[in-house]
Structure 1
Amino acid sequence: MSYCSGLDRRTLLKLGAALGAGIAMNARAGNSSDLLPGKTSTALLIRHANVITMDPKLGNISDGDVLLRDGTIVSIGKNIAAEGATVLDGAGMILIPGLVDAHWHMWNSFLRNSSPSPQGDTFFKSQLKTSAHFTPALSALGVRLGLAEAADAGITTVNNWAHNIRNPAFADAELQALQSSGLRARFWYGYPQELAATAPMDFKDIERVQQQLMAAGPRRVSLGLAIRGPERTGPKIWQQEFAFVKQHNLPISTHIAVTQEMQKKKAIQQLVDKDLLNPSVQLVHATHADEKDILSIKKSGASVCFTPLSEMRVGYGLAPVAAMHQAKIPLSLGIDTLVLSGNANPFMVMQTALNLATGSSGNELALTARDVLYWATQGGANAMGLGEQIGSITVGKRADVVLIDARRLGLLPMIDPVAAVVQSVTPADIDTVIADGRIIKKGGKLQDIDVPMLAKEAAQGARAVLG
């Protein structure tokens, strides 16, 4: 069966052009609203909020104020004076740092819930089939849909693990979508889904993208390398990839210890034996890492990203959250893919991680809500090497902040604001999202994103790929 049945080449080209126009539309609108009109000094004073700073020196501040100016947090406290600033009433709101999603395959977002299914292919077989029918415009559409959901849910930093880069045009399309969104992002340059295990990645184009990003100067989008790693390639390939990132001073990320069968390859120990684990390495899933692996990761300083919703849905198993936390390994959290997770709900990811740790350990105090919120904010920022710029409400950091409406029914009464964020909040409770000093969502509504048009494009994209 063709996954493009009913759509000839001419129709697909027309659809690609239409989606490309959609990319251009968002590129114009994606800068989002300035805190104040014009190009002069911009300031926003958020008053009377319940502030969860995630800064250990500041803690929580009830009835607190936060002043943002020119994309930076400039003051935190009570009764802040800021003449000329726009005032936003935060009474009844919880103010948190912008959330960091540390692992997300955004390109296939419009294939939400398409697999696995009892009558269809397993997830990986389905992904291999559908990936070949993507165009650069379709990949960018998936990224834009994911970015819109991210912004709606209070995620101000995404890690786009792009593992269907079929040629340079795919990389450019996904990068344009990221750069136009107003969110902070890391573009993890990956590989075509069907790339042979003996074939190298496109190092020449990765160098091109790095040079392009460097020439643009300090930006919200950075670069990393997404590799198949020791579980999917031989030493010749993955050692070449690690040598490349060392030469080019890039971070690297790989899925690892994902199943019992894959764990037989002892991929983590293969990296340890070559002294390749360090703080610039992100290990994703690690659902079957053993005690020796956990000790090795701890010693190396490498980070681990859990995506518990997709890990359970695809049958990887249960993430060893409690064991990794007890070992004090740097942890972060991710959506992974909307095909498996269903939607972009970082609060459900946090709550699931909390419940996994307590349920598997038999200790209801094995982990706290603050621990998990840390992974979704400061911990995620640290793992990206951005901990000095984002991750907490701290003077001097970038203005990535989120206001949650705590007056909504599912949050009443608010006894513990941190527990409320992790255990009770949903994306529908997000009132305001500010990313790098720009308002992305206001009054519960996304700014500068035509959601009905995006929905139409997503439906067209799904038909183009699935038939």
Structure 2
Amino acid sequence: MPVDIPLNRRTLLKFGAAASAALALPTGWAATQGSASAPATGLIIRHASVLSMDPALGDLTDTDVLIRDDRIIAVGRGLPGDGAQVIDASGMILIPGLVDAHWHLWNSVLRNSAPAPGGEAFFKSQLAISKRFTPKMSALGVRLGLLEAANAGITTINNWAHNLRNPAFAQAELQAMHQSGLRGRFWYGYAQDLPATAEMDFADVRSVQAQLRAMPGNRFDLGLAIRGPERTEASVWEPEFAFARDCALPISTHIAVTPQMQGKKAVQQLAQRDLLGPAVQLVHATHVDAEDVKSIARAGASVCLTPLTEMRVGYGLAPVEVLHKANIALTLGIDTLVLSGNANPFMVMQSALNLATAMSGDEQALSARDVLFWATQGGADAMGLGARLGSVTPGKLADLTLINANRLGMMPVNDPCASVVQSATPADVDTVIANGRLLKLGGKLLDSDFAALTQEVAQQLRTL
């Protein structure tokens, strides 16, 4: 098992003292949902190269996109945009807002704290430090992670909250999510040290579900994040699946992460009980076998890959090409800043592409467009939101990311799709629009106070 830096008091004090220098983001955001900017008369993006991810529209050049309120109104050349704020996208590539399908946001403040030779194993150190988190600290991790998400062009996130120690933790994370201006899903989980024989807090899950349903303008839905067959017995996880079904909630679990865990044949345990299906997300699946692949494909469950963290923690290499050839719905995730280092969805995409070709020996096994699909329309489809977002289509929600292809490292653009997947970085993201509102413009996040966030991170780390 990989090891990491032991998170003792001396180490954490060092993190706190260095926080101002280590958190290298351009800005932070204000604490209110309404802080993002958009004029009442709308926005019009002009002269963009559009990767619509909509087969009916295809790829477009020198194209305008008109946005009113939270919707894409029209896509085409020379669109009228009277009164709308104009964004000149000459030399830029417009893509749908990226969908991150799996992210443990609460521990973002522990960035790069694992692993290292001679230290504690990653999971052991995380278990120890998780007990000392407060709701405020968890919310701070969510805020930091979502700030990076917006900076990188991610407009839909899946927060897999697996350190909910009591209902106050869930409320703190939800508040941070709503303040971000993004949309997505709150995967209600458990405390890191919850005994394997203990059940989740079903009562609070029901309470949060009712809360979200009653919230005007809510941009987040709910899912159930469980430990599953590899970390609990059937007497625990079977009632969790039954509860999710009764509440009409999607369900997610880590699976087949190591050869040892694969020995439990978790996928087959689920398949034999007819529990796999489109509402089930399997995370990592690094060591699934041929039988598992057939079962997942037959049932229509999705698999989320996080290649950067899977390699960093020693899980192994994601079987990207095998899963793709089986027509399994694939999505991509950052997973955790503890292991990924930062939120770079473009590196995640490129790594998935490279793994498919490296492991198959076929340099044409996968295309950049395949991978970009997983990070946009495919991610939305897996969430059951594909009719509302995931492509640059009139009538869909205005979640868009504009990448500056004029920058060194991006130009010349011979293939816009390949340029996005293989060359782009968060620094190349010029403009981010979520729900029709500007979160980033001209390379800068809007309405923010990053200095205050940096100080808060340093202060909270010192309290540990």
- Contact map agreement 1:287 1:316 (CA 8 A) in 2: yes
Aligned partner of 1:310 in structure 2 is 309
- Per-residue CA deviation, residues 270-302 of structure 1 (Å, 9 max, x unaligned), is 000110001000000000000100000001010
Aligned partner of 2:280 in structure 1 is 281
The one-letter code matched in structure 1 to 2:165 is R
1:19-58 residue pairs with structure 2 within 5 A? 26-28=30-32, 30-36=33-39, 41-58=40-57
Aligned partner of 1:16 in structure 2 is none
1:224-263 residue pairs with structure 2 within 5 A? 224-263=223-262
Aligned partner of 1:172 in structure 2 is 171
TM-score (norm 1): 0.93
Aligned partner of 1:130 in structure 2 is 129
Q: Which stretch shifts more, 137-146 or 79-88?
A: 79-88
- Contact map agreement 2:318 2:355 (CA 8 A) in 1: yes
Q: Find the aligned partners of 2:289 and 2:173 in 1 and give their Cα distance.
A: 36
- TM superposition shift of 1:461: 2.7
The one-letter code matched in structure 2 to 1:177 is A
- TM superposition shift of 1:456: 1.9
Q: Which stretch shifts more, 87-96 or 100-109?
A: 87-96
- Contact map agreement 1:110 1:459 (CA 8 A) in 2: no
Aligned partner of 1:444 in structure 2 is 443
- Contact map agreement 1:110 1:461 (CA 8 A) in 2: no
- Per-residue CA deviation, residues 64-99 of structure 1 (Å, 9 max, x unaligned), is 110011110010011111222221111011111000
Q: Which runs of 5+ in 2 are unaligned?
A: 1-5, 13-28
Q: Find the aligned partners of 1:462 and 1:310 in 2 and give their Cα distance.
A: 23
- TM superposition shift of 1:451: 1.4
Aligned partner of 2:268 in structure 1 is 269
Provide the secondary structure at the position in 1 that maps to 2:431. Answer: strand
- Per-residue CA deviation, residues 19-39 of structure 1 (Å, 9 max, x unaligned), is xxxxxx9432x4333320xxx
- TM superposition shift of 1:206: 0.5
Provide the secondary structure at the position in 1 that maps to 2:196. Answer: coil
The one-letter code matched in structure 1 to 2:391 is S
Aligned partner of 2:21 in structure 1 is none
Aligned partner of 1:20 in structure 2 is none
- TM superposition shift of 1:422: 0.1
Q: Which runs of 5+ in 1 are unaligned?
A: 8-24
- The 1:255/1:2 distance shift into structure 2, 3 A limit, reads closer
Instruction: Please say if 1:221 is aligned against 2:225.
Output: no
Aligned partner of 1:18 in structure 2 is none
Q: Find the aligned partners of 2:440 and 2:11 in 1 and give their Cα distance.
A: 38
Q: Find the aligned partners of 1:290 and 1:373 in 2 and give their Cα distance.
A: 26
Aligned partner of 1:399 in structure 2 is 398
CA RMSD of aligned residues (A): 1.7
- Contact map agreement 2:71 2:435 (CA 8 A) in 1: yes
- Contact map agreement 1:4 1:464 (CA 8 A) in 2: no
Provide the secondary structure at the position in 2 that maps to 1:27. Answer: coil
Aligned partner of 1:333 in structure 2 is 332
1:98-247 residue pairs with structure 2 within 5 A? 98-217=97-216, 219-247=218-246
- TM superposition shift of 1:449: 2.3
Provide the secondary structure at the position in 2 that maps to 1:412. Answer: coil
Q: Find the aligned partners of 1:416 and 1:456 in 2 and give their Cα distance.
A: 42
- Per-residue CA deviation, residues 408-456 of structure 1 (Å, 9 max, x unaligned), is 0001111100000000000000111000011001111111221122122
The one-letter code matched in structure 1 to 2:95 is I
TM-score (norm 2): 0.93
- Contact map agreement 2:102 2:160 (CA 8 A) in 1: yes
- TM superposition shift of 1:323: 0.4
Q: Find the aligned partners of 1:412 and 1:122 in 2 and give their Cα distance.
A: 42
- Contact map agreement 2:297 2:326 (CA 8 A) in 1: yes
